[in-house]
Chains A and B, each alone.
Chain A
Amino acid sequence: MTIVYEEVSKRFGRATVVDRLNLSVEDGEMMVLLGPSGCGKTTSLRMLAGLETASGGSIYIAGRRVNDVPPRDRDVAMVFQNYALYPHMTVEQNIGYPLLVRRAERATIRGEVGRVARMLEIDPLLERRPRELSGGERQRVALARAVIRKPAAFLMDEPLSNLDARLRLQMRGELKRLQRELGITTVYVTHDQAEAMTLAHRVAVMRGGRLEAVGTPTELYRRPANRFIAGFLGSPPMNFVPGEIRDGRFAFEGGAIALPSGQTVAAGPVVAGFRPEAARLAAPDDGAFRGTVYVTEEMGAESFVFLECAGQLVTVRAEADFQAEIGDVLGVTVPSSALHFFDAASGRAVGR
């Protein structure tokens, strides 16, 4: 079902936590709300669930305005960061709870619990209690409890952040498959850009209670609307170099790069951004500018070289077998087409 936020605000006392949020989620779409902590993403999700009341604006689920509808009548299922499993109930009772409170027949509950438990491969755990489960198992139980009925939407509040790194990767894949298979509209909150990039049909980036941008992960990655988004998506993050546009070139302390033809950026101070994977290392005299190796990180499949260039730390991706010593001087080439330009004052993307 579709979800629409229309001019939705949330104020706690004098503090505005969510400021006139406008966002619509298509039927079957996975929308990831991404942003640093305190950006209002969780509050937005809780307003959708009915756990917080909106201070202004309207929220629609499947075309129905739900501002005054209690959580239980909104027909959404939620997965919490700490899973919120009922400690005194067995796994079976936990998963069956949404059906139990809807007065389903006992036999129906049994059957449905069995079905989703098999789907999530937790059927051997049905008699256990939450405290006897590992983190990953708890996560699956929480998911099972959400999928047991066909809700209008899934709401997920950082569901993977309590798992260790390996398990997180695995569950991320399973979560994506599950969502795509069931085709249920999902709003997913996270501060982890990798989760957003991998899971989302579309990502909504929030900052300070405002929506910064909405788009597919690729759109946001390739053409970030502002410096904040550019720096937030991608790992390691985009490099930023302050300088100015002069005579069709980007000039900065370390050197200058000619703008590509067709690039129209007004002359004046800008911040140029380029991604570590777009730049190349070269001999000291061959690059657009030089840098001194600050540190290198070998990742196995690739290496990241951190260079100090005119007081700025710049990251460049290199081959896995790249070797350099701290203090070495290297050149860096950046294809001019890979440059992003941002207004020095507002941070908004300029040009192109």
Chain B
Amino acid sequence: MRRRAATFGKYALLAVFLLFFLFPLYWLVLTSVKTQAEQFASPPVWWPRSFTTDYYAGLFQSTTGWLAFNSLLVAAGSTLVALAAGTLAAYALSRFRLPWRLNQRLGHWILSTRMFPPIVSIVPLFLIMRGLDLVDTRAALVAAYSVFNLPFVVWMMKGFFDELPRELEEAALVDGDSRFGAFRRIILPLVRPGLAATAIFCMIVAWNEFLFALILTQTEGALTLPVGIANQVTQYEIRWGAMSAAGVVAMTPMFVFALAVQRHLVRGLSFGAVKG
């Protein structure tokens, strides 16, 4: 009897949490299909009487497609760069014994850059990009996001490498492989779940990033979705419908992506299962 009450309590609590987190999603999707009259109705309309697809159709006439393309390119590009550089750095930190306790010191230094509020770096970053003639380019965003995600990648991947027994590479070395060959043939395949989990985080961060994109880009040649959506707040009106529709479009790929790789994500975050 008591156990049943406890179970009920647990599910009730979960229901409250779910409601709390899902309601904004519900409202976003709802607003994207409501007519303008119902958007502003009071009391609010919980379930519209008529649905409209005008806002989605409107997206095709706007630059949203371009912005999505920019977002995708920037997110994928920066994830690749951060993953490539970060994984190598993490492997080195995990495996090579450096003098003067540099392993810990470098590690902490790398982590500390993550504590740095991004907004502090935005003005110098803008000046650097202007100096390099990269303002309003996708390359600027790729560079900025790569650097921003790098500490995270290093720390995540270092954790995964630390989990792998050293004997695996040592066996590979004695078996006749080179350092890099052992890394590629033995170590990389074993940290693949970790790589996947880290990549997802990087993708999501880059895809959603707003501040750098707002400052570093200006035109649709480089603007990303989050900034584009925010631009629906114009001088004269807030285009709730267009904004919601674009929001849904922006959210969907990450949602699908996360669902698709969920298995990897869970495995990546609960590592240790690879030990033979």
**Option from B165, B172, B173 in Cβ contact (under 8 Å) with A82:** B165
Partner of A84, one of B167, B185, B190, B274: B167
The CB with the most chain B CB atoms within 10 A, among A49, A71, A88, is that of: A71
- The reply to whether A83 and B170 form a contact with Cβ atoms under 8 Å apart is no
Q: A84-B165, A84-B167 are in contact. Are A71 and B173 (CB under 8 A)?
A: yes
**Which residues of chain A have C-beta atoms less than 8 A from B185's C-beta?**
97, 101
CA distance A261 to B225 in the complex (A): 101
A77 pairs with B175, CB closer than 8 A:
yes
Cα–Cα, bound, A130→B276 (Å):
6
Q: How many residues of B contact A (CB 8 A)?
A: 20
How long is the Cα–Cα vector from A155 to B276 in the complex, in angstroms?
21
B97 closest partner in A (C-beta) = A12
Partner of B276, one of A70, A72, A76, A85: A85
- Nearest CB on B from A101, distance (A): 4
Bits for A168-201, please: 1 = Cβ < 8 Å to B, else 0.
Answer: 0000000000000000000000000000000000
Closest to A79 in B: B171
> Which of the candidate stretches B48-56, B79-87, B176-184 sits at the interface with the other chain?
B176-184
Interface residues of A in 30-61 (CB under 8 A from B): 49-51
- Whether A80 and B171, one on each chain, are in contact in the complex, defined by CB atoms closer than 8 angstroms, is yes
Tell me whether chain B's interface is mostly helix, strand or loop, or mixed: helix
Find out whether the CB atom of B173 lies under 8 angstroms from the CB atom of A72. Answer: yes
Q: Is there a chain A Cβ closer than 8 Å to B275's Cβ?
A: yes
Interface residues of B in 169-227 (CB under 8 A from A): 170-178, 181, 185-186, 189-190
- Quick one: CB contact mask for A87-99 with B, threshold 8 Å, 1 for yes? 1100000000110
Say yes or no for B168: interface residue by CB 8 A criterion: yes
Contacting residues, chain A, for B171 (C-beta < 8 A): 78, 80, 84, 86, 145
A138 within 8 A of B: yes
B189 CB to closest chain A CB (Å) equals 5
B170 touches A84 (CB 8 A): yes
Using CB atoms, name the residue of chain B closest to A130: B276
Q: Which of B165, B176, B276 has the most CB of A within 10 A?
A: B176
Using CB atoms, name the residue of chain B closest to A72: B176
A101-134: which residues lie under 8 A (CB-CB) from chain B?
A: 101-102, 130-131
Residues of A within 8 A of B172 (CB): 86, 97, 101
Q: Measured between C-beta atoms, what is the minimum distance from B182 to chain A in Å? A: 9
Q: Is the CB of B189 within 8 A of A88?
A: yes
Interface centre among A84, A131, A145 (most CB of B within 10 A): A84
| Cα-based distance from A81 to B165 in the complex (angstroms) | 12
CB distance from B119 to the nearest CB of A (A): 43
Contact present for B168 and A101 (CB under 8 Å) = no
Which residue in A50, A72, A130, A145 is a CB contact (below 8 Å) of B177?
Answer: A72
Distance A50 CA – B174 CA, assembled complex (angstroms) = 8
Residues of B near A74 (CB, < 8 A) are 174
Contacts of A76 in B (CB 8 A): 174
Contact status B165-A102, CB under 8 Å: no
A155 and B171 alpha carbons, distance in the complex (Å): 11
Q: Complex formed: what's the CA distance from A116 to B211 in Å?
A: 61
> What would 7 more interface pairs be, CB under 8 Å, given A72-B173, A101-B172?
A49-B174, A70-B173, A72-B176, A72-B178, A97-B175, A101-B175, A101-B185
A-B contact pairs, 21 of them (CB 8 A): A51-B174, A71-B174, A72-B177, A74-B174, A78-B171, A78-B174, A80-B171, A81-B167, A82-B276, A84-B167, A84-B168, A85-B276, A86-B171, A87-B275, A87-B276, A88-B189, A97-B172, A97-B185, A98-B175, A101-B177, A101-B181
Instruction: Please provide the 10 A-B residue pairs with the shortest distance between their CB atoms, ordered closest to farther.
Output: A84-B167, A84-B171, A87-B276, A130-B276, A98-B175, A71-B173, A101-B177, A78-B174, A72-B176, A88-B189
